[in-house]
Amino acid sequence: MQFKDMNSQLTPQHVHTYDAQGRMTCCTLEEKIQVKSGPPQLQPHSDDDGHDHDHEGEVAHSPWREYLPAIISFALLLAGIALEYWLKADWFTGWIRLVWYLAAYLPVGLPVLKEALGAIGKGEVFTEFLLMSIATVGAFAIGEYPEGVAVMLFYAVGELFQTAAVRRAKGNIKALLDVRPDQATVLRDGQFQEVKPETVGVGDTIRVKPGERVPLDGTLLGESSASFDTAALTGESKPRSIAAGESVLAGMVSSESVVEVKVTKPFGESSIARILELVQNATARKAPTELFIRKFAKVYTPIVVLLAVLLIVVPYFTVPDYVFRDWLYRALIFLVISCPCALVISIPLGYFGGIGAASRQGILFKGSNFLDLMTKVTTVVMDKTGTLTHGVFKVQKIESDGVEKNELLILAAALEQHSTHPVAKALLLYADEQKLDWKKATVAEVKEIAGHGLTGQVNGKLVMVGNTKLLEKFKIAYPPTLDAEVDTIAVVAVGNKYVGFITIADEIKPDAVDTIKRLHSAGVRELVMLSGDKDTVVQKVIATLGIEKGFGDLLPEDKVKKVEELKRENPSSTIAFMGDGLNDAPVLAAADVGIAMGGLGSDAAIETADVVIQNDEPSKVATAIAIGRATRRVVWQNIGFAFGVKIIVLILGAGGLATMWEAVFADVGVALLAILNAVRVQRMKFS
């Protein structure tokens, strides 16, 4: 199920009418939000260029149009009760009384009756609309006009509250994701002009003023850095400094200066477009609880109708002083209180609220089922570089054997320019700082050997740069003292001969220690680090952070094997893996829950992972667990409360101890409290 029209107008008559295939159905959160495939009048209007103006339409839409039927019904009902019971008007009898209450009933009852008939015509017989229709028409049949009106009126009021709750949930996510401006200032024919972002092509230059949002992905032009507010994308309150030549993403806000950006991706393929699609589609994957309730409602409703019929028929044969009207009244009460709307609405709304709360924290869940899975995580396996460490390496020392240090660095940098690994970036940065002209070297036949390093021809010589496993693979001897180096090491060989090495160190992220403490506090039993870095580095990091196990010198396939081993050791465990979403794609897919760190600009992260942490804070994983548990707790509170109240009032109604008024207040009250409880997830604070 997709949320392509997140601001389409929802009216009480149609808010629960159509499912994703355009069929009439019982009200669920999906039908309340998904209106794209509904009736034509619910589509947001478009101007001549096809641009949707659903947001403007929603603002212009007066709430009185929605509330008017309920207001009319309530006024007529109140006036009728006053005339009948308080003023005791003699003329208010017979057909006048019937017409009066019928006029009060039709504004709120007619849409429900039409939907019940429409649903029956499409094969959806047992819906809540049928329950409400039978109960209210039955009340009119036995002369209980005020109660018949009251049932439908309070049902309509409940629908209005449900609509408001859904709009609030949508509004919270839309406020987070409505970050793409309608205009882009692009350089054309030597002048900057405002155009639609959709018309800007790759390679164009756009200008962004202070306080404006970047409309498309690109690279920062100029000779210096610029500050950007990334809160809408990552949840980070602190501005991020981006250097010239680095990536700038759609949705960022220029904080201090006018900047120019060279566009690298079309409008529809920008990072924020992918995030929008991810969140809009998030509820397509249902949690097991949600799926159970939907299946339960389909079985529950026909059973309730059958029990109501039996409640009328069985006493005829068993009760001596059987009065048909009394038992019909009890059956109608039974139908009113049995309406499953509180469950069917509040549970998906609870999960949707959890997804919205996570989105505001910079955490994107690909489905409500992963909210549930996060609550069961017992083992967290994590990568090192870029996950618990910054992934920003700095050269520590250079040792050469048979060549000059500068020549060693030039050979390594010339080859590493073809790699995206953090080690390669560190080598290139250091070579530039040393003002070495490595770019003049001729490089050819470059090959990357996964988990080992690079080989290629540099200035006509065979050069290898990588870890010691690369030299072992080609049977090149190297000093055994290299294995004792604690820092990450890049070994260099020329012409099948070892010529030296470069050590590089990474820094642990500030919140890494807090991450481990919070995961332990959350009940995670086992923490394991898997890294392609040297095992000595891994052991140093896990000792610093307090992680139980750590394994280094691993290839991507080795990480998958380790995760599979953990599963075999404890089949009942739920394993989450934290990684950068690119090199770790295989193990992200192998884990029960794959969590991509800092995956905002990574296609591999969004495609492979189940949960995407948009910034580089590993502590957000503990936050994701907390949000998942809060959501699940609210969902089960709603289930327990709704079932408890309904069972009590059903028994009282069947025994003749509850009136239809009490049934109405109980049903509407349960629904409203369950909805308010579900919305509460969006207001919770998660540290």
Residues with a catalytic annotation lie at 383
Kindly provide the b/e burial profile for residues 63-89, where b requires at least 16 CB atoms within 10 angstroms of the residue's own CB: eeebeebbebbbebbeebbebbeeeee
**In whole angstroms, what separates CA 402 from the centre of its chain?**
56
Token pair 């000059």 in the structure block, residue:
404
The CA R_g of the chain, rounded to the nearest whole Å, is 32
Terminal alpha carbon distance of the chain: 31
DSSP letter assigned to residue 45 = P
CB count, 10 Å around CB of 464? Answer: 28
**Dist. CA 567–CA 296, nearest whole Å:** 32
The pair of structure tokens assigned to 441 is 């070297």
Task: Give CA angle at 631 (663, 31), nearest 5°.
Answer: 60
Element (H, E) at 579: strand 575-579
Whole-angstrom distance, CA of residue 354 vs CA of residue 348: 10
Q: How far is CA 266 from CA 50, 215, 603, in A?
A: 18, 10, 15
The separation between CA 186 and the C-alpha centre of its own chain, rounded to angstroms, equals: 32
CA distance 126 to 116: 9
- Residue 348 pairs in a beta bridge with none
3-class SS string, 92-143: CCHHHHHHHHHHHHHHHHHHHHHHHHHHHHCCCCCCHHHHHHHHHHHHHHCC
Q: Which residues pair with 194 in a beta bridge?
A: 185
Q: How many CB atoms lie within 10 A of CB 242?
A: 21
DSSP-assigned letter for residue 260: E
CA dist 70 and 108 (Å) reads 6
CA-to-CA distance for 297 and 201, rounded, in angstroms? 50
Q: Can you tell me whether residue 495 is helix, strand or coil? A: coil
Token duo for residue 363: 């955490």
Long-range (24+ apart) CB contacts under 8 A made by 302-305 are 302/125, 302/126, 304/131, 304/334, 304/335, 304/338, 305/126, 305/130, 305/131, 305/134, 305/335
428 vs 400: CA distance, rounded Å: 18
Question: How far from chain centre, in Å, is Cα 296?
Answer: 25
Amino acid at 539: Q
Q: Give one word for 49, left, alpha or beta, with left for phi > 0 and alpha for psi -120 to 50.
A: alpha
Per-residue H/E/C for 173-238: HHHHHCCCCCCEEEEECCEEEEECHHHCCCCCEEEECCCCECCCCEEECCCCCEEEECHHHHCCCC
> Residue 409 is which amino acid?
L
